Structure 1
């Protein structure tokens, strides 16, 4: 991958104020996929209480040291602050020479998370396939399931995108790409899934986000956390069962759906052995 030194790092923000949607798991796997593709990747964890992404990458470094192996990874930092200026200073010091900087935001309404979201080049919002999670971005009619209004969060991102579109070339700003990722679709009853899909399609036309398939609820992701390994670390995972291979296919489709700047060699990492 060619370094993006002439431009600012591509910012990928994983944000959902509800939590429990696979946000950190998705963030780590995307970070490692980018690293496998030859990119310089920095991660900033904005949840100092949970710091799941930071802990995952910390576990990964410990596993690499203990086994005496090299694992492509991202550098990691945690910010305990509510000041956007401090976040921007950390980006400059921690990720100034990175190709990509990933932000894992807390699963709650947070001023710093809002700032990070409005500054994203790619905003990733994982949702479990339920109207409980859909409520983050829009409210639906109880009888018809048609979208009645945008949520506060959707309006925030809409306004940020409008403001962003006015940025000049000299400011080196990109158009924000907002991607809603549907996780746990395999656990959703068919009629409910169809209703959610229809509501997402309707809302996406109004707000301008894209929708892509995400990760199913699989035990493998919870099992990998203590070691910091990911589905891409094929040579270090032992024998993979069928469910693991399906999960890897899901990850491949997710990477494709995010449509990030060129990631050479990543697809090869996701192929079955």
Structure 2
């Protein structure tokens, strides 16, 4: 395993439909817009959602003859851990940040990718269906009864990484697809997450609300940060952009809010 100062962000969740790939792409583009060199590795060689999104983005740049921040990206189609390590090492040699999207299922390469993370992001929908991935609750009082297998796995992964090279993996649970009309459910899920976070040591931050625009942007590969190329945005879309910025800020990455070529380009597109 190569030694590198590149920061590795791994998006991992063994359950599909949590908005994982959407948050992965938007995070990668947001960091690119800050002037950071970003590389994306897509481990889901079947769905290829992140790759398709970035391919669409590259095609839009060419078709419209515009300049937009575009991370480097590749699909890893191998099956061996050694091959994945080599791919990550290569990307870390040329990028300041490596973002890895994993399949929404139990996958040995996804588990290994988590061991390479500096920041491990687990998006979940704001429901007890998704909460069950990391913990089980009492059906009467919604108190946490026990950890799930996945939470135990991530706990052991973080301990092993700290013992191996002294790196403390920052595990972030991302509450995606919040609904304003589900206040009681949000409160119960939030309380359960807070209780579990104290046991396991992850952080909880708000993610992205359920919005149609995220599905509409996919064919063009554009993101909410691409101001000036999206047409007139309503107030709800402006709010979604702010959610995105707050989400990326909540990751507390070791870069801060950068200024420079990337952020200036974003301002000029406003």
Q: Which residue of 1 aligns with 2:5?
A: 8
Following superposition, the deviation at residue 260 of structure 1 comes to 0.9
Q: Normalising by structure 1, report the TM-score.
A: 0.91
Please tell me whether the aligned partners of residues 57 and 220 of structure 2 are also in contact (alpha carbons under 8 angstroms): yes
Q: 1:213 to 1:197 in 2, by over 3 A?
A: same
Cα distance in 2 for partners of 1:133, 1:216 equals 15
Within the alignment, does 1:250 sit opposite 2:213 as a pair? Answer: no
Q: Which runs of 5+ in 1 are unaligned?
A: 1-5
Cα distance in 2 for partners of 1:209, 1:34 equals 22
Following superposition, the deviation at residue 83 of structure 1 comes to 1.4
Please tell me whether the aligned partners of residues 224 and 241 of structure 2 are also in contact (alpha carbons under 8 angstroms): yes
Q: Which residue of 2 aligns with 1:34?
A: 31
Cα distance in 1 for partners of 2:141, 2:124 equals 21
Q: 1:34 to 1:204 in 2, by over 3 A?
A: same
Cα distance in 2 for partners of 1:190, 1:94 equals 42
Task: Indicate which of 189, 202, 205 corresponds to 2:195.
Answer: 202
Q: Normalising by structure 2, report the TM-score.
A: 0.92
CA offsets, 1:215-250, max 9 Å, x none?
011111111111111111102111111111010010
Superposition map of 1:52-201 within 5 A: 52-168=49-165, 174-186=167-179, 189-201=182-194
Cα distance in 2 for partners of 1:184, 1:75 equals 28
Q: 1:129 to 1:188 in 2, by over 3 A?
A: farther
Cα distance in 1 for partners of 2:24, 2:118 equals 15
Segment drifting more, 80-89 vs 148-157: 80-89
Q: 1:260 to 1:188 in 2, by over 3 A?
A: farther
Q: CA RMSD in A?
A: 2.0
Please tell me whether the aligned partners of residues 207 and 247 of structure 2 are also in contact (alpha carbons under 8 angstroms): yes
Please tell me whether the aligned partners of residues 129 and 188 of structure 1 are also in contact (alpha carbons under 8 angstroms): no
Within the alignment, does 1:264 sit opposite 2:250 as a pair? Answer: no
Following superposition, the deviation at residue 160 of structure 1 comes to 1.3
Q: 1:246 to 1:95 in 2, by over 3 A?
A: same
Cα distance in 2 for partners of 1:130, 1:202 equals 15
Within the alignment, does 1:220 sit opposite 2:217 as a pair? Answer: no
Q: Which residue of 2 aligns with 1:3?
A: none
Cα distance in 2 for partners of 1:111, 1:178 equals 19
Cα distance in 2 for partners of 1:187, 1:137 equals 24
